[in-house]
A and B are shown apart, each in its own frame.
Chain A
């Protein structure tokens, strides 16, 4: 109930940083430094900050309707859910096959073991079972730079901020959005799809005692949409809204430009206390340099279940439960958060973190596949911990650049998919634990086709035939295929004429041994059919820049899945080539059309069909060679219960970490 932040940000930062293969060090991503911004503009005297600060200067002109107008609108109810109850209902239908004690005695060696452990550990607490004075030691791989929820830019900050903030909306394990019953009384959408109205509860308080009102939400929106505030990460999404207006302390209306199925995701943005920032923001729009703001960052006013009690830079962050979150006027009005203290221990190196787990000092962490395979099987590990995994909708792929002379032809791309030894990848490189990927949606996703496409198996003969069809032959007898192709050596989309060239290309990957090994496998497979593939590991930042500039032939990378399938529009549409993540310059007018339709289709069944068609079309075109879906591998201390996995891991959904507890029984 407390998780209610930008979900696209969850995806991008938590998922993507891991995907792109940067080490935890790199994950502490960079963001513009405040003093430089100020000094730069002072230097230029072309004043952005010299001029007076304008709150919300990016908000378009708009005349909002009056309260009377609103009463005349036809409204449809949307779900306001107590997600804890929702989860409890789901659990009633699932019976655990073992008791907790039995499951903890088992070592996780087979998929069946895993199923038992996951289901036993996921059982929710019964009354009286929760130890409310317990402490939970969580792992984070980097220190946080800001506590202000608007400035979140790393997965560490997201984890911590999630406990400090409150939100109006969330989504469940099926990615169905809902309004938080802990914050809202009602949520309605206008029948023309252009407005969303919510009525907030009146028992919400900030940690300093002030009430949380609709004016805070409106203010937050205005701050996000102020150009002088350096938070573009949060702005993308909010800039899809036409306006946000608070009509009174509890009533809030969000206005959209068009009636899209994706509007529901834009209304969810972080909330900061108006009474704390409204007078100070004009002096320091960066929200991070003035003494007042620095102090606020050190001791934030939080709206969520926890407050920061202590921070030791580089070591740990200690959060304490606050009574004013679940108590109001002496009555309990919300779920009591299960832990009295949550401590985030900052340990950058995964080896050290694992050592800490083995000593029982750290109580949860995400495991690397190597750690799962060889370092968590002995008595040392099982003394205090157990481990489990679950599917996560994160897939890895070889991406082919359509601007490369080699990969314009579909037959060549299909040949690549046939040439690769998928079986060895899954059995050896992924330890037989991850599943093959057959497209952008996992087969358990509602958007995936009813009948999943058949995955590619290695067939070198077929690959050779396809290549020959596409005109690749060894005409000069040097053992390497060659062909006449259109050249575009600077990848700008403009052809430089045709030439006969040998089939030699470079595949980029980030500098991690396991990824390099997968690319070496591709190199070996292609070598057998006469193609020279060079593997170039590059630093994370170089990889990013190169992909953004489309200056590559092939790349090995991964994506997580967004809560709404429309999020992949940013990967596959033609307009996303220059202004999006379509790094490989894939362009298919049919796909463009389908995405536009999908955004607008409000009927769920029809919408499904659209995205299924997208999935199958992409699969046919093979702009990627889809490789595997990666599981989430976690180690938990034996004293923890109530954790459940979703396709975004155990935490990044509703209820997420809220159901986790420690048993009140003496161990």
Chain B
């Protein structure tokens, strides 16, 4: 097992390297560069002198060829220096760090909510499988699964922020805080934050919720058909004890491996939603830095997301091996 782990980690590092190379080449190859939007280059009345242009190019790292510049980034990165953002003139890690909390504010509650709600719904669906109330729930869940999150976001905004404006049910249209946030008391601040979180978290959660409940149900259906469950029933155990004590525990592990796979979504899953809700998180940062060709930030974000993705996959694979004795890694 240890050998397998080491191999996987080494391979993961190799993949990471390849990813950063590929992304760097891609974004440098894209037309447009950060110099083009520098104020000096946009002044219609004047053009900076050639020397100044060369100096600016050097400052943006544009004077080097793509492999050279990539090597430069890599050597710095290994030392822990991710460079500074072109747009905000602060170190990339600071820029990302300031936005991580916002994204986590969105993704972590929604992850927790999805898991907590999915379990009872899944169990309920298994217990009442085939009956009309379960079929109704199933249909509703299914329909929820079919609504793309950005559509739901737009509808929710339309309903709660526009149509219900001025009523008690009104919710904020976008952003994380009201304009007079600073002036609020602490408890008011918390309430304001919660109010702003409601619509985005709902938009982010319901899809996972639908998927997880159905996942649990599907797994439970399979488990329930096993012989040992029939034995338990024959022994006279009550349905709830059977379900929760015997059946559910066997679905837990695949369920938890899902966690591993949803790790990257924690940080990168919400690009479109963050645009719609003007939520200052990492998705919005990613989008914006691509538009402004802020190379250091793009590389920093890609690196972070790739690390998470690879970790998540490794975790999922290990847990699978843990569970299924047929799969073994030497």
Q: Known contacts A230-B59, A352-B173, A570-B47; decide if A236 and B181 are in contact (CB<8 Å).
A: no
Give 1 or 0 for each of B70-102: 1 = CB within 8 Å of chain A CB.
Answer: 001000100000011111110100000000000
Do the beta carbons of A352 and B174 come within 8 Å of each other?
A: yes
Q: Cα distance A139–B24 when bound, in Å?
A: 37
Do the beta carbons of A30 and B86 come within 8 Å of each other?
A: yes
Within 8 Å CB of A544, what residues of B?
Answer: 32, 36-37, 41-42
Within 8 Å CB of B180, what residues of A?
Answer: 361
Residue of B48, B72, B84 touching A33 (CB-CB under 8 A): B84
A419 to chain B, nearest CB (A): 27
Do the beta carbons of B44 and A541 come within 8 Å of each other?
A: no
Residue of A30, A145, A315, A571 touching B38 (CB-CB under 8 A): A30
Within 8 Å CB of B31, what residues of A?
Answer: 538, 542, 545-546
Q: Known contacts A30-B38, A32-B38, A581-B44; decide if A542 and B32 are in contact (CB<8 Å).
A: yes
Within 8 Å CB of A31, what residues of B?
Answer: 38-39, 86, 89
Q: Cα distance A48–B39 when bound, in Å?
A: 23
B165 to chain A, nearest CB (A): 8
Is B227 positioned at the interface, with any CB of A under 8 Å from its CB?
A: no
Give 1 or 0 for each of A299-315: 1 = CB within 8 Å of chain B CB.
Answer: 00000000000001011
Is B175 positioned at the interface, with any CB of A under 8 Å from its CB?
A: yes
Q: Which residues B33-81 have CB closer than 8 A to chain A?
A: 33-53, 55-56, 58-61, 72, 76
Do the beta carbons of B33 and A236 come within 8 Å of each other?
A: no
Q: Cα distance A545–B294 when bound, in Å?
A: 15
Residue of B42, B86, B181 touching A32 (CB-CB under 8 A): B86
A211 to chain B, nearest CB (A): 31
A540 to chain B, nearest CB (A): 6
Do the beta carbons of A16 and B42 come within 8 Å of each other?
A: yes
Is B324 positioned at the interface, with any CB of A under 8 Å from its CB?
A: no
Is B293 positioned at the interface, with any CB of A under 8 Å from its CB?
A: yes
Q: Which residues A535-583 have CB closer than 8 A to chain B?
A: 538-546, 548, 559-560, 562, 567, 570-571, 576, 579-581
Do the beta carbons of A548 and B36 come within 8 Å of each other?
A: yes
A233 to chain B, nearest CB (A): 4
Do the beta carbons of B33 and A541 come within 8 Å of each other?
A: yes
Q: Cα distance A571–B43 when bound, in Å?
A: 11
Residue of A28, A36, A145, A548 touching B59 (CB-CB under 8 A): A36
Do the beta carbons of A35 and B179 come within 8 Å of each other?
A: no
Is B288 positioned at the interface, with any CB of A under 8 Å from its CB?
A: yes
Q: Cα distance A580–B44 when bound, in Å?
A: 8
A234 to chain B, nearest CB (A): 8
- Interface segment among A7-15, A105-113, A324-332, A460-468: the answer is A7-15
Do the beta carbons of B179 and A361 come within 8 Å of each other?
A: yes
Interface-central residue, B38, B41, B45, B49, by most chain A CB under 10 Å: B45
Within 8 Å CB of A356, what residues of B?
Answer: 179
**Number of interface residues, chain A, beta carbon within 8 A:** 74
Do the beta carbons of A33 and B85 come within 8 Å of each other?
A: yes
Within 8 Å CB of B84, what residues of A?
Answer: 33-36
Question: What is the number of contacts between chain A and chain B, taking CB atoms within 8 Å?
Answer: 193
Do the beta carbons of B47 and A580 come within 8 Å of each other?
A: yes
B76 to chain A, nearest CB (A): 8
Do the beta carbons of A236 and B48 come within 8 Å of each other?
A: yes
Within 8 Å CB of B288, what residues of A?
Answer: 25
Within 8 Å CB of A40, what residues of B?
Answer: 58-59, 61
Q: Which residues A232-255 have CB closer than 8 A to chain B?
A: 232-233, 235-237, 239
Within 8 Å CB of A359, what residues of B?
Answer: 179
Do the beta carbons of A560 and B44 come within 8 Å of each other?
A: yes
Within 8 Å CB of B39, what residues of A?
Answer: 9, 12-13, 29, 31, 152-154, 233
A142 to chain B, nearest CB (A): 10
Is B292 positioned at the interface, with any CB of A under 8 Å from its CB?
A: yes
Beta-carbon nearest neighbor of B64 in chain A: A40
Do the beta carbons of A17 and B47 come within 8 Å of each other?
A: no
Within 8 Å CB of A355, what residues of B?
Answer: 173
Do the beta carbons of B42 and A29 come within 8 Å of each other?
A: yes
Q: Which residues A21-44 have CB closer than 8 A to chain B?
A: 22, 25-26, 28-37, 39-41, 43
Q: Cα distance A17–B36 when bound, in Å?
A: 12
Q: Cα distance A236–B33 when bound, in Å?
A: 21
Is A199 positioned at the interface, with any CB of B under 8 Å from its CB?
A: no
Is B291 positioned at the interface, with any CB of A under 8 Å from its CB?
A: yes
Q: Known contacts A25-B291, A32-B59, A227-B55; decide if A11 and B181 are in contact (CB<8 Å).
A: no
A–B complex contacts, Cβ < 8 Å, 10 sampled: A20-B42, A25-B291, A32-B55, A33-B59, A41-B58, A232-B55, A348-B278, A538-B31, A542-B31, A560-B44
Q: 14 other contacts beyond A32-B55, A359-B179, with CB at 8 A cut-off? A: A11-B44, A12-B42, A17-B42, A26-B37, A31-B89, A36-B84, A145-B89, A235-B52, A315-B181, A347-B179, A540-B32, A542-B31, A545-B31, A580-B47
Which residues of A are interface residues toward B (Cβ below 8 A)? 8-9, 11-13, 16-17, 20, 22, 25-26, 28-37, 39-41, 43, 48, 145, 152-154, 227, 230, 232-233, 235-237, 239, 288, 312, 314-316, 345, 347-349, 351-352, 355-356, 359, 361-362, 538-546, 548, 559-560, 562, 567, 570-571, 576, 579-581
